[in-house]
Structure formats: C-alpha cells, structure tokens
Amino acid sequence: MLRFRFLPILILGQLFATAGQAEDGVAISATKPDGSGVLVHEVRSPYQAKPTRLRVLLPDPMEKGRTYPVVYVLPVEAGIENRYGDGLAEIQKQELHKKHRAIFAAPTFSHLPWYADHPTDPALRQEGYFLNVIVPFVDKTYPVRAKPEERHLLGFSKSGWGAWSLLLRHPEQFGKAAAWDAPLMMDGPGKYGSGAIFGTKENFAKYRITTLLADRADRFRSGKRLLLLGAGNFQSEHEQAHALLNRLKIDHVYTDGPVRKHDWHSGWVKDAVERLLAE
C-alpha cells in the first residue's frame, strides 16, 4: 500500500487538516469547492495514466466530533465524461447526503473503468488505485467510520460489476455493494470496452463475478451484503445472477423492476442508497 503525506486541506474552517508532500508518486491536492457544494481533489498517481479527480459530498449539516458512513459512487465512464449522467449530482439532487447523514465519494479513472488491474500496464491499475490511493485518502482526510461495515459501494453497468468485484475480492474492506443494471454474467473480456482493461482471459478470470460468487459463497451466506437491484438493459443477466445466488445459498437483496433507462438519473439511485445504508 502506498504511503501518504497530504497537501494542506482546508474544509469547513480547517476541520480536516493534513500537511506535507506526497510520497511514492502520489499527490492529492487541497480541496477546491466546485460551487455546488461538492469538494474536489485533483489526484496524480502512478496507478493512473493521467491526473484524475475525487469529488466528495458531505452531510449537511456536519456535526463536530461525529463520524459518518461512506458510500463510494463508482463511475461508469472514463474521466469526467457524463453520457450516462452524474451519480454524485443525483445524490445531491435527492438530498441523500442530508437524509442519510453519510459521506459520498466519487473518484474518476483515466481509462474506461472496469475496476481491474491490467496484467502488464503499471498505469492501468484501477483496483489498486481505488484500494491504495482513494480509500486510504478518504479514511485519513474525512470523518468517515473507517471500518468495513460502514464503507459501501454503489454502481451500475460497468461500475455495478466493479462494486460487486471489489466486495467479493476484498470482503474484509467493504460492507455492502449495490449493482443496478449490470452485466454480471459476462464470461470473458471484450464486451463494452472491457478487453483493453482486463488485458487477457487469464486476468479477466480473477475478476469474473460468477467465479468469485462460487469461490466465496461461504463468506456471503448471511447479512445481505450483495444488492441486486432492477435493470434496464441487463434484466436477463440480473435474473440469471439471482438464480445463481439462490443456488449458492448467498443471502442477498433482489428487486426485478421496474425497467428503467440505463442512466444515473432514471430513478433507481434513491432506493439503492437507502438499502445500502439501512441498518
């Protein structure tokens, strides 16, 4: 894991302050409010081919001395592209940061995010970037409850796949993962731009959801840590995944509708966040 010394960060009257310079090629800027209430960090890391961003939405109001659960809002597109909408903007619009008193953190990636480490390209390590740069920085900088049961993953399509693969591969680091309209039954690299990220069939096999479910079913027999929510483009894959989860006796949350547009803003986010943060 990379070590950090962070640049000065001024948030809410120096509520969170760290100082120093980045080590090991990682540099994360001080916060830059974007004018809408979202805090933005610029991130440079050897895990990514070019600078990326981390956006953070804090509870409103903040309470001094209180810590909060954190939900990672995982992107579907590379960089700041938003053809399929903006997950953090939808959370802010629905005022979920106020209702649920949680911190929401949304990273970006230099390449199309499939949440995997490329087998040979050191600047294409999406899983490593998220685990070794983003999560430790949020834990250190913001008043999150830095324990697995309070650290959740939210995504759809590619990022729904990513949410599940991150939880299944690292169950000791995350609490729940919600996937909406995701190609969870994908059986090889190539579709939806995945080939360039996974690199090889052998590397893809490490992240294949169906294999991870079968291999790690014992870790998920209780607790409903996997959330399989409605679909738009991938309803058949959700039905197959639900059947597989039942065969493996994996405890999970499942909803089969309604069918919605394949987009952050089609109405599914509110329910997903409520289920992630339910006691």
Instruction: Tell me which amino acid residue 88 is.
Output: L
Q: Which of 72, 47, 45 is nearest to 142 (CA)?
A: 72
Mean pLDDT of 262-274: 98
What's the pLDDT band for 201 if we cut at 50, 70, 90?
A: very high
Is it the case that residue 154 has pLDDT exceeding 80? yes
> For residues 247 and 253, what is the distance between their CA atoms, to the nearest angstrom?
15
Between strands 32-33 and 39-44, the pairing is antiparallel
Question: Percent of the chain scored above 90 by pLDDT?
Answer: 89
Q: Is 247 helix (H, G, I), strand (E, B) or coil?
A: helix
User: What pLDDT shows up at residue 279?
Assistant: 76
245's CB contacts (< 8 A; 6+ apart) are 213, 226, 228, 252, 254
> For residues 155 and 182, what is the distance between their CA atoms, to the nearest angstrom?
8
Mean pLDDT of 252-278: 96
Is residue 1 one of the residues assigned to a domain? no
29's CB contacts (< 8 A; 6+ apart) are 7, 41, 42, 43
pLDDT digit string (tens) for 3-62?
444 444 444 433 443 323 345 899 999 999 899 999 999 999 999 999 999 999 999 999
Is residue 14 one of the residues assigned to a domain? no
Is residue 24 one of the residues assigned to a domain? no
DSSP one-letter string for 69-103:
-EEEE--SSSTT--TT--HHHHHHHTTHHHHTT-E
Q: Total structural domains in the chain?
A: 1
- Tokens 């830059």 label which residue? 32
> For residues 44 and 75, what is the distance between their CA atoms, to the nearest angstrom?
18
Is residue 184 one of the residues assigned to a domain? yes
Q: What is the DSSP letter of 185?
A: T
Q: How big is the CA angle at 30 (ends 25 and 36), to the nearest 5 degrees?
A: 130
pTM of the model: 0.93
Is residue 68 one of the residues assigned to a domain? yes
Q: Where does 170-260 have alpha helices with state H?
A: 195-198, 201-207, 209-215, 235-247
pLDDT digit string (tens) for 166-197?
999 999 999 999 999 999 999 999 999 999 99
pLDDT digit string (tens) for 202-251?
999 999 999 999 999 999 999 999 999 999 999 999 999 999 999 999 99
pLDDT digit string (tens) for 72-92?
999 999 999 999 999 999 999
Would you tell me how many other CB atoms lie within 10 Å of the CB of residue 123? 14
Identify the domain containing residue 187 by its residue range: 32-276
User: What pLDDT shows up at residue 263?
Assistant: 97
Q: Which residue has the higher pLDDT, 1 or 76?
A: 76
Residues, the chain, total? 279
CATH number of the domain encompassing residue 102: 3.40.50.1820
Kindly tell me the sign of the dihedral angle through the C-alpha atoms of 221, 117, 7, 80. negative
Q: Is 256 helix (H, G, I), strand (E, B) or coil?
A: coil
Is residue 167 one of the residues assigned to a domain? yes
User: What pLDDT shows up at residue 215?
Assistant: 98
- Tokens 């991130």 label which residue? 43
Kindly tell me the sign of the dihedral angle through the C-alpha atoms of 129, 132, 133, 135. positive
Is residue 146 one of the residues assigned to a domain? yes
Is residue 174 one of the residues assigned to a domain? yes
User: What pLDDT shows up at residue 24?
Assistant: 83
H-helix or E-strand spanning residue 57:
strand 52-57
User: What pLDDT shows up at residue 257?
Assistant: 85
